[in-house]
Amino acid sequence: MPKAYLGVDVGSVSCNVIAIDDNDNLIAKTYIRTHGQPIEAIKKGLAEIEDKLSSMEVAGAGTTGSGRNLAGVLVGADVVKNEITAHAVAAAKQVPGVQTVLEIGGQDSKIIILREGVVTDFAMNTVCAAGTGSFLDQQCGRLGIKIEDFGDLALQSNTDVNIAGRCTVFAESDMIHKQQTGAKREDIIRGLCEALVRNYLNNVAKGKDIQEPIVFQGGVAANKGIKSEFEKALDKKITIPDNFDVMGAIGAALLAKEAEPAPTKFKGFAIKDTDFKTTAFQCMDCANKCEVVEFRENGQVIARWGDRCNKWSEDLDKDPEEKISTK
């Protein structure tokens, strides 16, 4: 039976679930909005790709993203890796020799520097949403356009309009001001693209040695206007790989395949019908007062995390009820 390897990337905005075959070809993928419910998003993602893998054996599973630990316990992951590693692995696979990865997702952005296939430097911005997918979605709604048309409209502009892009609040205020002074919509959109690229390069990429080949991935890579402004600002060619929107999940799947688990820890697609719940409690045993997350499968505790001393995560039979406050 042919083998498949799963990759699950759970972020603050979306959940990507993909599968690759033994030759690293993408054979299934799905994008699910989390809407603050990552467990349901993961289960829905698995349900959507299950039919495509009915004639294959899932030989490994990997998770990444800000929700990688939760996803790892839920699906039974063989590999749980951070976003930097997953994105770097996927980029290196699709664009051999890549030296710089620009990644902009729904709520954060990052830059990864590779030399000879090894990550030598990186930076992330999780504080400000300026330039991320959620911010662009919001502005499209305010301007009355589809996000799919954003990039094309930016490329239609022939006039420079300066937009303050350092902060989402300033950017939106500046856009409204430019509208009130009669600036064309396509010029405002191009100005916003330029501002967001400037913000990224002055903050996330500040001090980084950006060398070609340069790969641009993450959901915002679909925006032709942002890509164009990156190329102008850097005076370098930008490559957007196939499946740029699920590169983190692809990286997780590649890492799971590389690990060669025998057998895999993957719990199977039946988990989509399993009852999973998370609760949290505060440990009062010391001054740290750690908030410990407790993960239950069909009522049974199967994982805990968040405790600095590991007293709760290493002893799942330990009963917190008598000594802590529950939430």
Q: What are the pLDDT digits (tens) for 196-212?
A: 888 889 888 999 999 99
Rg from Cα positions in the chain: 22
Name the least confident of 116-125, 182-191, 312-321. 182-191
pLDDT at 220: 86
pLDDT at 79: 97
- At which residue do the structure tokens 């719990």 appear? 267
Determine the average pLDDT of the residues in 71-97.
96
Query: Which domains are seen in the chain, by residue range?
Result: 3-87+248-272 (3.30.420.40), 96-240 (3.30.420.40), 276-326 (no CATH)
- Asked if the model's pLDDT at residue 129 lies above 60, the reply is no
| Confidence at 131, pLDDT banded by 50, 70, 90 | low
Determine the average pLDDT of the residues in 280-293.
91
Which of 138, 151, 233 lies closest to 195, judged by CA? 233
Task: Return the half-sphere exposure (C-beta side, CA atoms, 13 A cut-off) of residue 317.
Answer: 0
User: Where are any strands of DSSP class E within the chain?
Assistant: 3-10, 14-21, 26-33, 57-64, 79-80, 100-104, 109-115, 118-125, 214-217, 238-239, 276-282, 291-297, 300-305, 325-326
Q: What sign does the dihedral 147-152-157-162 (CA atoms) show?
A: positive
pLDDT tens digits, 271-284? 988 999 988 999 98
First to last CA, the chain: 46
109 close to 101: Cβ distance less than 8 angstroms: no
Name the least confident of 44-58, 59-73, 214-228, 256-270. 214-228
- The percent of residues above 70 in pLDDT, for the chain, comes to 90
pLDDT at 169: 59
| Confidence at 62, pLDDT banded by 50, 70, 90 | very high
Q: Which two tokens stand for residue 118?
A: 């090894």
- The percent of residues above 90 in pLDDT, for the chain, comes to 56
pLDDT tens digits, 16-28? 999 999 999 999 9
- Asked if the model's pLDDT at residue 314 lies above 60, the reply is yes
pLDDT at 88: 96
| Confidence at 216, pLDDT banded by 50, 70, 90 | very high
How far is 15 from 13, CA to CA, in rounded Å? Answer: 7
CA angle 204, 209, 211 (to 5 degrees): 110
Long-range contacts of residues 25-33, Cβ cutoff 8 Å, at least 24 apart: 26/242, 26/243, 26/246, 26/250, 27/52, 27/53, 27/56, 28/4, 28/52, 28/53, 29/243, 29/246, 29/249, 31/245, 31/246
Residue 308: phi and psi, rounded to 5, are: -70, -30
| Confidence at 219, pLDDT banded by 50, 70, 90 | confident
Determine the average pLDDT of the residues in 21-46.
93
Q: What number of helices (H) and strands (E) belong to the chain?
A: 9, 14
